[in-house]
Amino acid sequence: MGWASELLVVVSWLCVVGCARGIGANWGTQASHPLPPSTVVQMLKDNGIQKAKLFDADDRVLSALANSGIQVMVGIPNNMLASLASDHKAADRWVAKNVSDYVHDGVDIRFVAVGNEPFLATYNGSFLQTTYPALQNIQAALDAAGLSNQVKATVPLNADVYGSVTGKPSDGDFRSDIHDLMLSIVKFLGDNGAPFTANIYPFISLYEDPNFPVDYAFFDGYSSPIVDGAITYTNVFDANHDTLVAALQRNGFGNVSIIVGEIGWPTDGDMNANQQLAQRFNRGFMNHVSSGNGTPLRPGPIDAYLFSLIDEDEKSIQPGNFERHWGVFAYDGSPKYELDLRSTTTEVAAKAAAANSSSLVGPKNIKYLERKWCVLKPWVSLDDAEIAPSVSYACENADCSSLGYKTTCSDLDTLGNISYAFNSYYQKNDQDNRACGFSGLATVTEKDPSTSTCKFDIMIDAGAAESWKARTLTDLNLLWCIVLPVIVTFV
């Protein structure tokens, strides 16, 4: 790496540290009833969040961020990588439409995220041939548009692209099957002063390994730390982060800056996903960030984006039911627990933090649908042959991810499970009467069926333009004609 490239890396690092202080947040939009973008932008401001990471280039979201003072990482979905990799003109057009125009209109775009975890082992190599060429073409388009000093192209990568055969961070290296590709990408990032973006999830370590030590996932001490030479690691975040640092150093790229693109803890959908553990993790991480100490191999400020800002009830649950519950705010913007996100931001935000204690600040004047719910008729026999296919249909087309072993709704009996499924579908369909039919099994009630731990939600009134009603509403009068091979187990 020549002196010019080294200078570029230093300038980029200074910008990451000085221009984007404080915690960022991932703002996903896979929700049936999303909050208005202007409302979410105000939530970001009220909570001192100065950076937003997006997964696409939604016009409503980007327009709402104009002149907000919030720095933006705009995303390119994986399904666009092939076209951007094969046609540099397509990349030029994408940058012109989704970066240049918005920068001109006052959106402070700092990064373009080219793909999202494209090298996940579960993708079976689907994006191995297209990610790097797409990255090159997007960066070239940014250069041609005169934006390369402000906007950098990066690739958010899952932490599975690196590892250590010994378990010690100092032995970190990139995954053997993509090693050469990773070195090409890292060199390109370094040459262009762009950061390496890694998504680090201690929760997933715990979820995938029943023998994983629980305390090691958090930041408040672990009785059997990893000793790596003169360094002792008491939490898996530092160890994981430094495994990446070691991988970069081992291959001659120790000066490349690092962004933690996603980090967080879900609140439902798994036995280890609850509000208590999520608060413990996020508080610990915020304290870690606030200390400014960094990690043993990379001292200094940590640049990170919490995953995520708000729950998304339309995310894929293929990885697990917890996928719809990563938000520090619920679907309606209500805070789930106390958490201070303003401790590393500006002096103004610090004063606001002191004034608001450690409470998250939710939106104001949210309008909900009517206070009514769809439930199973109490006189219906649980042996009715229509129940299983009806519940299957409701859960496949709505959100039943809070049902299951040791989830927030695990206290429900069989009737409660059925009613929860019916209500989820009913609410998602804006309380349309046709959405509470289920072959005559269901009825609308004004009595709240919620329990002390399980809330039967009422959706926000998001307006016809953004609500589920704007999509095709399946006529439930035909439900009994549909045969679904799904077996439903009631807890």
Asked if pLDDT for residue 400 goes beyond 50, the answer is yes
In the block, tokens 């036995």 appear at 271
Q: What is the mean pLDDT of residues 315-340?
A: 97
Residue-wise pLDDT for 404-415, tens only, equals 999 999 999 999
Asked if pLDDT for residue 467 goes beyond 50, the answer is no
% of the chain beyond a pLDDT of 90: 85
Whether 89 contacts 68, CB under 8 Å: no
Asked if pLDDT for residue 370 goes beyond 80, the answer is yes
User: Minimum mean pLDDT among 119-123, 310-314, 418-422: which range?
Assistant: 119-123
CA angle 379, 381, 386 (to 5 degrees): 115
Q: What is the mean pLDDT of residues 284-308?
A: 96
The H-assigned helical ranges of 65-214 are 81-86, 88-95, 101-104, 131-144, 179-191, 202-208
Asked if pLDDT for residue 369 goes beyond 90, the answer is yes
DSSP code of residue 391: H
Residue 175 pLDDT? 97
What is the pLDDT confidence band of residue 480, given thresholds at 50, 70 and 90?
A: very low
Residue 390 pLDDT? 98
Task: Tell me the DSSP string of 142-166.
Answer: HHHTT-TTT-EEE-EEEGGGEEESS
What is the pLDDT confidence band of residue 364, given thresholds at 50, 70 and 90?
A: very high
Q: What is the mean pLDDT of residues 10-19?
A: 42
* Catalytic entry in 208, 262, 312, 370: 262
Residue-wise pLDDT for 214-258, tens only, equals 999 999 989 999 999 999 999 999 999 999 999 999 999 999 999
Helices and strands, number each (H, E), in the chain = 14, 17
262 included as an active-site residue: yes
Residue 358 pLDDT? 66
* Catalytic entry in 6, 117, 338, 386: 117
Asked if pLDDT for residue 18 goes beyond 60, the answer is no
Task: Tell me the C-alpha distance between 203 and 198, whole Å.
Answer: 15
Residue 113 pLDDT? 98
Asked if pLDDT for residue 50 goes beyond 60, the answer is yes
Residue 21 pLDDT? 55
Rg (CA), the chain: 24
> How many other CB atoms sit within 10 Å of the CB of residue 472?
7
Asked if pLDDT for residue 488 goes beyond 80, the answer is no
Asked if pLDDT for residue 156 goes beyond 70, the answer is yes
Q: Indicate the pTM of the whole model.
A: 0.89
What is the pLDDT confidence band of residue 342, given thresholds at 50, 70 and 90?
A: confident
117 included as an active-site residue: yes
Q: What is the mean pLDDT of residues 173-183?
A: 98
User: Minimum mean pLDDT among 8-17, 386-395, 429-438: which range?
Assistant: 8-17
What CA–CA distances, in Å, run from 192 to 7, 40, 150, 152? 10, 32, 11, 8
* List of residues 6+ apart from 125 with CB closer than 8 A: none
Residue 343 pLDDT? 56
